[in-house]
Amino acid sequence: MCRNIHQLHNFEPAATDDEVYAASLQFVRKISGSTKPSKANAEAFDRAVAEIAHISRHLLEDLVTTAPPKNREVEAEKARERSAKRFAAA
């Protein structure tokens, strides 16, 4: 899957509409193979992003977990450490 799409479930505070939209945009870009669609495809592209964002928001609202919410700063630091290890080894 696209590395730019991040987990949005079980964070405090909850994912914003902008985060859900950004993940949806990345998903549509990945499956369409286009970062910026042509004028002929722009309407279908934009509609797909909006629909996936809408469905994703419903999914996030409906998911249930017993795990404690994650902290965004802590998770970001873990990601930076993983990245540093991965690229230091190369």
pLDDT tens figures, 19-37: 999 999 999 999 999 999 9
In this predicted structure, the answer to whether residue 56 has a pLDDT above a threshold of 80 is yes
In this predicted structure, the answer to whether residue 62 has a pLDDT above a threshold of 60 is yes
Q: Tell me what pLDDT residue 63 has.
A: 95
HEC secondary structure over 37-80? CCHHHHHHHHHHHHHHHHHHHHHHHHCCCCCCCECHHHHHHHHH
Band (pLDDT 50/70/90 cuts) for residue 79 is confident
Q: Tell me what pLDDT residue 26 has.
A: 95
